[in-house]
Structure 1
Amino acid sequence: MASKKSKKSKKQPDNTIAVNRQARHEYFIEDQFEAGLVLEGWEVKSLREGRVQLKESFIQIKNGEAWLHGAHISPLLSASTHVVAEALRRKKLLLHRQELNKLIGAVERKGYTLVPLSMYWVRGRAKLKIGLAKGKKMHDKRATAKDRDWQREKARVMKHG
């Protein structure tokens, strides 16, 4: 009996490596996809240490393949001595052909943008959550901020009143 309780009370380890908070501010996210990443050994070691930044990264489709550009993975000093680590190296994304075709159609015909939303671990493999997004205008951003402030104020009133 006591062993069951201890299993439930244990916290699940957080599998999130990095989150691109700016993406939800700048874009309306229409759909989300999960993609694998082709990484080098030193990059995986850096990801385990949490040394990645998705803030200025974007996804580009070239020759029927998806590529992650601008994701900054800082190399560890002790990771490897014989490999020249390139922090802003473009990384190939692994998606099913059907998903790729859907993304290509949306980007080329409908004017959508592909943005990385978050990076996380699934069974020891690094995955990237991709958002199929439309850009927000300035008035959309103001409306979102106003709505968020109203929800916060409403919660505060309900709590005290």
Structure 2
Amino acid sequence: MAKKKSKQSNSNTIALNKKARHNYNLTDKFEGGMSLQGWEVKSIRTGKVNISDCFVMVKDGEAYLVGSEILPLNAASSHVVCDPTRDRKLLLNRRELDRLIGAVERDGYSLIATAMYWKQCWVKLEFYLGKGKKSHDKRADIKDREWSIDKGRIMKNKNLGK
């Protein structure tokens, strides 16, 4: 007897911020849990999340995810007030928070969210310390990327000719 294949994907990724690497020079990676309400977890399971324009803000010694959008389900309870763009608290160690506060306030770094994913049964946010790129930096990165592609093509054709 054949088993039925489930339609769920094996990927733990919920949402990605693809523009982050293009707009910022990312340096140090951090991972934090999120304090979520029940309706938010249900919406995340269905994939109704957008983190493309969000960032992490440090306020009063705590880290918050600002600008993320979790759309409520149509079948959500009527007694629950759903705010899709509320600030969500990140769960980090005191040592990590102190390091982030120092980097943001003294060194002028930004905290950019790059991915949201499942880790066992918890929702985790991956974010980086980063500084914004200027337009000439972006052009230089594009030029380097295109040159590496062309170089690979040249080397491939050179090796095939022997």
Q: Work out whether the TM-score is over 0.5.
A: yes
Instruction: Give the CA deviation at 1:150.
Output: 1.5
Q: For 1:52, which of 49, 54, 72 is the aligned residue? A: 49
Superposed, which structure 2 residues align to 1:141-156 within 5 Å? 141-156=138-153
Provide the TM-score with structure 1 as the length reference: 0.88
Tell me which residue corresponds to 1:77: 74
Equivalent pairs counted in the alignment come to: 150
Q: For 1:40, which of 37, 42, 63 is the aligned residue? A: 37
The list of structure 1 runs, each at least 4 consecutive aligned residues, that deviate by more than 4 angstroms after superposition, is none
Tell me which residue corresponds to 1:119: 116
RMSD in angstroms over aligned alpha carbons? 1.3
- TM-superposition CA deviations, 1:35-83 (whole Å, max 9, x none): 0000011111111111111111111110000011100111111132221
- Which is helix-richer, 1 or 2? 1
Q: For 2:60, which of 38, 60, 63 is the aligned residue? A: 63
- TM-superposition CA deviations, 1:79-131 (whole Å, max 9, x none): 32221211101100000000000000000001000110100000110000010
Structure 1 SS opposite 2:19: helix
Letter in 1 for 2:47: G
Letter in 2 for 1:14: S
CA distance in 1, matches of 2:116, 2:50: 10
Tell me which residue corresponds to 2:134: 137
Identical columns (%): 53
Unaligned stretches of 5+ residues in structure 2? 1-8
CA distance in 2, matches of 1:77, 1:153: 49
Structure 2 SS opposite 1:21: coil
Letter in 1 for 2:114: L
CA distance in 1, matches of 2:111, 2:24: 10
Structure 1 SS opposite 2:154: helix
Letter in 1 for 2:103: A
CA distance in 2, matches of 1:49, 1:25: 28
Instruction: Give the CA deviation at 1:151.
Output: 1.8
Q: Between Structure 1 and Structure 2, whose CA radius of gyration is higher?
A: 2
Tell me which residue corresponds to 2:103: 106
